[in-house]
Amino acid sequence: MVLSRAWTLIKHFEGTPKLSDFKLKEVQLPKIKNGEVLVEAEYFSVDPYMRPYSKRMMNEGDIMIGTQVARVLESNNKAYPVGSYVLSNAGWTTHSISQGKDLTPLIPNWPDHIPKSLALGTIGMPGLTAYFGLKEICIAKKGEIVLVNGAAGAVGSLVGQIAKIIGCKVVGSAGSDDKVQYLKDIGFDEAFNYKTVGSLEEALKKASPEGYDCFFENVGGYFADVALPQMRKYGRIAVCGAIALYNDTTPRKGEYVHFPLIFHELRMEGFTVQRWQDRYDEGLEKLMQWVIEGKLKYHEHITKGFDKMPAGFIGMLKGDNTGKAIITAK
Ligand SMILES: NC(=O)C1=CN([C@@H]2O[C@H](COP(=O)(O)OP(=O)(O)OC[C@H]3O[C@@H](n4cnc5c(N)ncnc54)[C@H](OP(=O)(O)O)[C@@H]3O)[C@@H](O)[C@H]2O)C=CC1
Ligand SMILES: CCCCC/C=C\CC(=O)/C=C/C=C/C=C\[C@@H](O)CCCC(=O)O
């Protein structure tokens, strides 16, 4: 019998999540039955979606939602042999029993020198979000100018690099000077610290006086009010996320987008990455190829230890991370 530890959500967040919103519980797991597997988590992802989705997908007292890279410890299911690695949607729990429906094997022939934690980031959901959001919504083309905010994060840093692979000019915004330097190190043409620039409008104009063809929106709020009027004719805006708004207790009121949409003849489209679920293998193989070729640089912000999960999640929301925020089980 295995003792599993799990972080449960005591009550739904009000504003910014607090450590006291979570409670650590221990659960004695039963022996596995026919068709079941027992998995042990090695890496956990902490993602912004957990903030808005928790209210929509969880009841108070539930185990916190989330994805993990886990290793099969025991198996009565030949699709998941002992010792194999899987992606599991079991959430914030050290061990879990599954019949396989919520498990996804890592893509075949995962190279030994590529960290398996990348299955939660660059070669996982964030990577797919960047890949499909840029290709299918922005439809970024060689020679175009791409703007991405939240650019030093798991998704944003890949958007910028994939845009460079396509042959675009890339401008990024991030919340610290160190992150701005990171963006320049991974190939962004221009980058600025949105917290310290006097005027966002001037910073965007200075970074690209000719404006922007594509805007990959990760942040929401005021940023779009300023960015949309600087979009070039027939520009495309991929609305990926709105992390600046997730912790709001009362909805913010912004400017209206109608005039820039009409007079610049823009297309603005929201999406969630599940739209391309049937093409995940295509995206993952391309992302893996680019990582192996060195064309896609990755950075992980690692918080060590399962006990630190709530702190790692809150830290990511605050901006502690450059690249993908990962928690190690041990
Ligand atoms: N539509 C979809 O299918 C998906 C959408 N997303 C969305 O993409 C966005 C990025 O996600 P991901 O890359 O995983 O997360 P990140 O790795 O970018 O981590 C979150 C980052 O957001 C930034 N941030 C936090 N608060 C603010 C704020 N008030 N204003 C500006 N920036 C802020 C911080 O960076 P900084 O220091 O720059 O402030 C922080 O590091 C999120 O909005 C997320 O919801 C992600 C995956 C799938
Ligand atoms: C109520 C406002 C919602 C705003 C956030 C919406 C989208 C942003 C975002 O972050 C979306 C993330 C999508 C994640 C996709 C796949 C899964 O890995 C997690 C989804 C949870 C689940 O379906 O198990």
Chain segment 304-322, per-residue pLDDT in tens: 999 999 999 999 999 999 9
pLDDT for 218: 98
SS3 125: helix
User: Which pLDDT score is estimated for 287?
Assistant: 98
Mean model confidence pLDDT for the chain: 97
Does 93 score more than 90 pLDDT? yes
> CB of 163 within 8 A of CB of 140?
yes
Stated pTM of the model: 0.97
Q: Which residues contact 203 (CB under 8 A, 6 or more apart)?
A: 173, 192, 194, 197
What ligand is nearest to the CA atom of residue 128?
1
pLDDT at 1 over 90: no
Q: Work out which ligand 1 atom sits closest to the CA atom of 271.
A: 1
Q: Which ligand is nearest to the CA of 200?
A: 1
Q: Which residues of 170-182 are buried (b: 16+ CB within 10 A; e: fewer)?
A: bbbbbbbeebbeb
Domains of the chain: 2-121+298-328 (3.90.180.10), 126-274 (3.40.50.720)
Strands 85-88 and 103-105: antiparallel
Question: Ligand 2 centre from 272 Cα, in Å?
Answer: 7
For ligand 2, whether the C-beta of 241 sits within 6 Å is yes
What ligand 2 atom has the least distance to the C-alpha of 240? 8
Q: Measure 217 CA to ligand 1 centroid, in angstroms.
A: 9
Closest ligand 1 atom to 243 CA: 43
Over residues 205-261, the pLDDT tens digits come to: 999 999 999 999 999 999 999 999 999 999 999 999 999 999 999 999 889 999 999
Mutate to test the pocket of ligand 2, among 13, 53, 88 (most ligand atoms within 8 A of CB): 53
Convert the pLDDT of each residue in 181-216 to its tens digit: 999 999 999 999 999 999 999 999 999 999 999 999
